[in-house]
Amino acid sequence: MIALIVLFISATAAIAWIATIPLRQRLRRQKVMSKPFPQPWRKILKQRFPYFKSMPTDLQLQLKKHIQIFIDEKDFVGCQGLTITDEIKVTIAAQACLLLLNRKTDFYPKLKHILVYPHAFITQQQVTDAAGVQSLQQNVHLGESWGNGKVILSWHNTLAGAAQPDDGHNVVIHEFAHQLDQETGDANGAPFLQKLTDYPTWSETLRSEFNQLQYCAQNHIPSLFNYYGATNPAEFFAVITETFFEKPQQFHQEHPKLFQELSRFYQLNPIHWQ
């Protein structure tokens, strides 16, 4: 009987602990955001994230609060001898949190670890050819987003992407767009939208634009979007997200309906920042 009572009390305590996780997380985040943004981090933002200076003041403040929570909750891991510094954390966090502004967010809830390599990294994948022969194929990557709680980034390319905020290429924005997509399960170009009624228009617009990009890629027709976006709907969403933040004016001029969908999703209009 005593054993059953102890078991019941333990189970009740465990349930209570789980039930209070959202509250405890909210209180922890409030505590983190209440702290002043460290002065050294301000210098890093100005030096490594020039995009920050063109943002409205309210978004700058919001971004700094997001950065504080992101760095508090995510584990940064240096690979191939890279030492993790505040410069690395703030530079990555600033770009990742750009995608969370003005939206209800849980700060990439599936993400636990950010692995940072000094440069582009090589992965090996076993492939099978038409004859059934298996071999190892090496691939060079600037970044990867995994659904099991990891993002992998090249620090060299992270710096390059942040330093040129208007070239349409940003590896951090790309991989964290995948993270948003993966919150619904496998990445498929359909992240959680604000309302259920948003999905029909989103699906129709993105499908049409994706087909158009595939046509451009197949026929070598110039496009605002990187041809890599024609690989599949998930890569298309990541590529157009990069372009949305880095080339908003041209995006709006050439693809107004698609721009409107992303502006509604991100609750932002970067045109006004430039």
Residues 254-270 have pLDDT tens digits of: 999 999 999 999 999 99
Say if residue 212 is in the same domain as residue 168: no
- Determine the pLDDT at residue 51: 87
**Has residue 23 been placed in a domain?**
no
Quote the pLDDT of residue 226: 96
176 & 243 share domain: no
Is residue 168 domain-shared with residue 203, that is, in the same domain?
Answer: no
CATH value at residue 177? 1.10.472.150
In this structure, the number of other CB atoms found within 10 A of the CB of residue 23 comes to 9
Question: Given this model, what pLDDT does residue 130 score?
Answer: 64
Report whether 170 contacts 161 (CB < 8 A). Answer: yes
Q: How far apart are CA 220 and CA 23, in angstroms?
A: 53
Last residue of a domain, one of 183, 201, 223: 183
Is residue 143 domain-shared with residue 179, that is, in the same domain? Answer: yes
Q: What is the C-alpha separation between 29 and 69, in angstroms, rounded?
A: 6
Pair of tokens at residue 243: 């372009």
Q: Are 181 and 238 in contact (CB under 8 A)?
A: yes
CA distance linking residue 27 with residue 24, whole number of Å: 5
Tell me, yes or no, whether 224 and 121 share the same domain. Answer: no
- Report yes or no on 2 lying in a domain: no
Q: CB-based contacts of 64: which residues, under 8 Å, 6+ apart? A: 37, 41, 45
Which of 51, 97, 103 shows the shortest CA–CA distance to 70? 97
Q: Look up the domain containing 84 and give its range.
A: 32-183
Q: What is the pLDDT of residue 140?
A: 62
Strand partners, 136: 126
Same-domain status, 135 and 232: no
Q: What local confidence, expressed as pLDDT, does residue 43 receive? A: 96
Number of domains in the chain: 2
Q: Is residue 3 part of a domain?
A: no
- What is the predicted pLDDT for the residue at 13? 42
Q: Which residue has the tokens 């509250």?
A: 23
Residue spans of alpha helices (H) in the chain: 2-19, 21-34, 39-48, 57-73, 86-97, 155-163, 171-182, 199-218, 233-246, 248-254, 256-266
Separation of alpha carbons 3 and 6, rounded Å = 5
Cβ of 269: how many Cβ atoms within 10 Å? 16
18 in a structural domain:
no
Q: Are residues 39 and 173 located together in one domain of the fold?
A: yes
**pLDDT value of position 142:** 81
Of 135, 158, 183, the last residue of a domain is 183
pLDDT the model gives residue 6: 52
Rg (CA), the chain: 21
Domain co-membership, 176 together with 196: no
What single DSSP character describes residue 78? E
Question: CATH no. for residue 210?
Answer: 3.40.390.10
Residue 20 lies in a domain: no
* 113-117 and 75-78 strand pairing: parallel
pLDDT of residue 138: 57
Last residue of a domain, one of 183, 210, 229: 183
- Kindly state whether residues 69 and 203 are assigned to the same domain: no
**How is residue 93 written in tokens?**
């966090």
Low-confidence residues of the chain: pLDDT under 50:
11, 13-14, 16-19
Asked if 262 and 244 touch (Cβ cutoff 8 Å), the reply is yes
In a domain? residue 227: yes
Q: Which of 150, 232, 231, 227 is nearest to 188 (CA)?
A: 232
Q: Are residues 177 and 198 in the same domain?
A: no
Give a yes or no: residue 106 inside a domain. yes
Residue 90 shares a structural domain with residue 217 = no
Shared domain for 179 and 44, answered yes or no, is yes
> Which two three-digit tokens encode residue 222?
């110039």
Residue 10 lies in a domain: no
